[in-house]
Chain A
């Protein structure tokens, strides 16, 4: 069990690096969505099902959707 948590923590850290260092915001929205899924798995492994449910809806759907709509609006305006 502890090995699983260690693997999940490493994956989350790698996901964080990927999100921060991807410079194109459109690509970052998709990476953010995958990062949300990795966080959900980590929260589930840390015995926190409530928090995992919250993170699933918010981190995988709401925030990437709003980021993509913002990019589309800003690009369309320029």
Chain B
């Protein structure tokens, strides 16, 4: 259809959808209400299982099956990107991406902040049940921390720090650990993804039963998944080109 007709249809659609949305918003509880039935159920359940971070408890203890589904989506889409961005038959992989040296200040920034970011990422993953954090956030911070080496201009060093077979195996290991813990729950109590370890004392590092283990598994899977994704994109830009040598 022509562009003008498309915009007319879009206008009608936006107007109708917008009207329906506003009518729905007028019937909802107002912003800032104190009527939250899910919170009244979730917070006592989380405290009873010894978890100080209620959100981690909801993610890994009370609604673990949803998180398993999300992990599967993540795993599947990383596999799909890795399959899509393989060099095709008429392409070849160069060996050397060429050197470009950034500013001194940028390089120092990258070198100094990379270990700091990696430590912060590990801290976020491990303390997920006590402070705001957890597997997902810590995994993303770990993946971005590794790429500070690329900001500092050392693409080759970054490649050495992330051997691709190891990263791919660790992503699978993280996802498999999540599922294995779920099956261990069946083995002990008969319920998938049940919380089977002792709950510990509130606010300590080893509390909330299996939540720390889930956090580590998810952190590993998310960090490795994001590293694989970025690695495929970097490869495509820097290393893959049409066979025959033109750029």
Chain A residues within CB distance 8 Å of chain B: 2, 49-50, 53-54, 57-58, 61-62, 65-66, 69-70, 72-73, 76
Q: Please, how many residues of chain B have a CB less than 8 angstroms from a CB on the other chain?
A: 23
In-complex Cβ contact of A50 among B55, B144, B229 (8 A): B55
In-complex Cβ contact of B226 among A50, A62, A70 (8 A): A62
- Given the interface pairs A62-B143, A62-B144, the reply to whether A53 lies near B133 with Cβ below 8 Å is yes
Q: Kindly count the residue-residue contacts between A and B in the assembled complex, taking CB atoms under 8 Å apart.
A: 48
Does B236 count as interface, using CB distance less than 8 angstroms?
yes
- Inter-chain contact A50/B137, CB cutoff 8 Å: yes
- Inter-chain contact B32/A2, CB cutoff 8 Å: yes
23 contacts between A and B (CB under 8 A): A49-B132, A50-B53, A50-B55, A50-B134, A53-B137, A54-B137, A54-B140, A57-B137, A57-B140, A61-B144, A62-B140, A62-B143, A62-B144, A65-B147, A65-B233, A66-B229, A66-B230, A66-B233, A69-B234, A69-B236, A72-B237, A73-B233, A73-B237
Main secondary structure of the interface of A (DSSP, over half): helix
Does B149 count as interface, using CB distance less than 8 angstroms?
no
- Inter-chain contact A65/B140, CB cutoff 8 Å: no
A69: chain B residues within 8 A (beta carbon): 233-234, 236-237
B230: chain A residues within 8 A (beta carbon): 62, 65-66
- Inter-chain contact A53/B237, CB cutoff 8 Å: no
In the complex, the chain A residue whose C-beta lies closest to that of B229 is: A66
